[in-house]
Amino acid sequence: MENILEKFEITPVGRVSSEIKKPILLAGKSDIELQERMDIIREQRKRVEANICELIIFPQWSELLDGIEGFSHVMVLYWPHLIDPERRNLRKIHPMGRKDLPLQGVFATCSPARPNPVLASTVPLLERNGCVLKVKGLEAVDGSPIIDIKPYLKSYHGADDSTIPDWMMKINQDLEAVE
């Protein structure tokens, strides 16, 4: 049992086809670096929210999709493949690369720079066509390997009384600010 905890393999089940070609955040040597000004990030976020992309599932996994079209939303687990493996050793970062926010442990953030950079998003499922799922609002970069897809169930995955820290509330407010 000890050996399984040391290292294991994840097999991609598909890839993302998206208009997003580069990540907004990059992992630097000692922190996350925001690639654009916040006003540009706001515009990019609006484009991401409207972005329709395809989850292309490899043919050998096609029957695993049977029944998925009955759900309005899916959870997509994917790998941010453009993160340099050498940059996955960050322990604390400034959220969104913002030096005006306090350093946080990487597990307290949604940063893609983490020991195992598995990212998860819940998005509306628009349609299924064979091995292709069309979804809206996925922030994954084009070519990102898909690790898993799960149906979203509010009764199972939702949290009614969730809270967030002040620094995350500040990020959300800044992202929603109207100029």
Model pLDDT for residues 82-94, shown as the tens digit of each residue: 777 776 777 888 8
Task: Quote the tokens at residue 3.
Answer: 């050996």
- Provide mean pLDDT across the span 27-54: 66
pLDDT digits (tens, 9 = 90+) for 3-28: 666 778 899 999 999 988 876 665 55
Give pLDDT, residue 179. Answer: 47
Give pLDDT, residue 7. Answer: 76
Amino acid sitting at position 105: G
**CATH number of the structural domain 9-153:** 2.40.30.70
Q: What pTM, to 2 d.p., does this model score?
A: 0.81
Q: Which of 98, 116, 119 is nearest to 168 (CA)?
A: 98
- Provide mean pLDDT across the span 35-44: 59
pLDDT digits (tens, 9 = 90+) for 109-167: 887 878 888 999 999 999 999 999 999 999 899 999 999 999 999 877 777 788 888 88
| 1 has a pLDDT exceeding 70 | no
Q: How far is CA 177 from CA 41, 109, 138, 139, in A?
A: 11, 21, 21, 20
**How does DSSP assign the chain, residue by residue?**
-HHHHH-------EEEE-S--S-SEEE-SSSEEE-S-HHHHHHHHHHHHH-EEEEEE-GGGGGGGTTGGG-SEEEEEE--TTS-GGGTT--EE-GGG-TTS--EEGGGS--S-SSS--EEEEEEEEEEETTEEEEES--PPTTPEEEEEEE--HHHH--TT----HHHHHHHHHHH---
pLDDT digits (tens, 9 = 90+) for 61-119: 999 999 999 999 999 999 988 777 776 777 888 887 778 889 999 899 887 878 888 99
Domain boundaries, given as residue ranges, for the chain? 9-153
